[in-house]
Amino acid sequence: MQFISTRGQVPPVSFSTAVAQGLAPDGGLYLPEQLPDLKPYLAEWSKLSYAELCEVFFAIFATDIEADELKKIVTRSYTKFDHADIAPIVKLDDDRYVLELFHGPTLAFKDFALQLLGNLYESQIARTGNRISVLGATSGDTGAAAIHGLLGKEGVTTFILYPDGRISPLQERQMTCTGADNVFPLAIKGSFDDAQTAMKTVFEDREFAAEVGLSAVNSINLARILAQCVYYLSAYFRLPEDVRDDITFVVPTGNFGNVLAGWLVQRMGLPIKGFRVATNQNDILHRLFESGTYQLDEVAPSVAPSMDIQVASNFERFLYYAEGQDSEKVREIIQTFKETGKYVFENFDRAGFSSSRTDDAQIAAIIKDVYAKYGYVADPHTACGFSDGFEGKEIILSTAHPAKFPDTIQDAIGEDSTHPSLEELKSREIVKYSVEPTPEAIKAFMRARV
């Protein structure tokens, strides 16, 4: 299978090339040249374990990786999860379920993709002999998951940008207390959007990318999205049969990658009823699905910091399909948004999405209410999925362990939420580096350490 850029100005590439490059040379995001039809496989796949399901799903896309090698990559990727189901489902009542995605090594849903991506990189380096420099930007969980997915990988140097003071203290410790000498957490002044914009500009410098062997861990990397597709398949198969075709997936999201993965699987033939995009007070996506207008606003720091985003990079992949796979139209929309901070869609097709918005006060009230009603502790991002006003059956994606946000949990329910791996971090030394959020400063820092 070949992979194309959403902006249509570069030739198709193989799976391994798409993964290695991360961002396409024309600034676009890679997608399969044609989405496969999964319907003929669903009955057989429903009987598989999580790792087996991931393997057969990736085999459709990673056609340039030998079957035995792919099996090894996938099997290694799910050995560090602390629940036998990998992504367990918790039933709260007859209409409400939770899909827990926080049982990986950094207690966040990003582990599903970044454990796999780390092993894909390791295989690539062994095959080619070429070292790589990984550059990412994080609003909280991506950085920790990327670092832990790449720890111990020969030939990898990791650089992660994050907004200083705008992620939770424990999220920061997961990135800055590894003790690894090839990991560089880069604290910037500004927002996640500032970090992401600078990162994308660095990737557009193809000469620099070749010089340092640049690769991406953010959800601009197609492997991230494909890995996240698997837990929608897994969840669908494990829901009760009388529920699975009549349930809405509720997805807390900031960068649109988490919900995009489910939507792509739906387009491939999995009969998911629909999706609700659950935002915090940084609600650019909610405003889009409500009004058809995609418009920047100021980032308002919140108690759900991983969603403190105003530029949802994966929205470009959705755009590609929403605009009839018209790359020229995608380029026009992206350029207009880049120049003006706004784009108004005519006859905007919501494509089965609904949306909701939850501010900080509502998040605290929801955590308290969910705990009182179900005895279940939801982290502040997951809490956004419990917003009022939705009728029908729903499965809420729980994106992080509540112990990563102890102050918010304590304030809401008056009880501590802890996890041994996080407690152990509190005694370690923080090592981080201050860098200006400019492409020039980032490239200079990387050149000095590659």
Q: What is the DSSP string of 156-207?
A: EEEEEEEETTSS-HHHHHHHH-S--TTEEEEEESS-HHHHHHHHHHHHH-HH
Asked, for residue 185, whether it belongs to a domain, the answer is no
Number of independent structural domains in the chain: 1
Whole-angstrom CA distances from 303 to 134, 384, 417, 422 are 28, 11, 15, 18
Residue 343 maps to a domain: yes
Instruction: State the pLDDT at residue 389.
Output: 66
Q: Is residue 70 part of a domain?
A: no
Is 447 inside a domain boundary? no
Q: Which class for 340: exposed (0-12), middle (13-18), buried (19 or more C-beta within 10 A)?
A: exposed
Q: What are the distances in angstroms from CA 437 to CA 4, 258, 268?
A: 29, 25, 38
**Consecutive 10-residue averages of pLDDT for the chain (450 residues):** 98 96 93 98 98 98 98 97 97 96 96 95 93 90 89 92 92 93 93 92 93 90 96 98 95 93 98 96 93 92 91 92 96 96 89 93 97 97 87 93 95 94 93 96 96
Q: What is the pLDDT of residue 205?
A: 93
**Domain extent at residue 324:** 89-104+223-418
**Which residue of the set 39, 110, 189, 432 is catalytic?**
110
Please list the helix, strand and coil fractions of the chain in percent, rounded to the nearest 5, in that order: 45, 15, 40
Residues in Cβ contact with 11 at an 8 Å cutoff, skipping those fewer than 6 apart: none
C-alpha span between 437 and 450 (Å, rounded): 19
230 assigned to some structural domain: yes
Q: Is residue 347 part of a domain?
A: yes
Domain harbouring 261, CATH code: 3.40.50.1100
> Are the beta carbons of 82 and 103 closer than 8 angstroms?
yes
Query: Does residue 249 form part of some domain?
Result: yes
Length of the chain: 450
- The reply to whether 364 falls in a domain is yes
Please confirm, yes or no, whether 110 is among the known catalytic residues.
yes
List residues bridging with 184 in a β-sheet.
159
User: Reduced to 3 states, what is the DSSP secondary structure of residue 287?
Assistant: helix
Q: Is 142 helix (H, G, I), strand (E, B) or coil?
A: helix
**Alpha helix locations (H) across 245-303?**
257-267, 284-291
* Residue tagged 């089965």 (tokens): 352
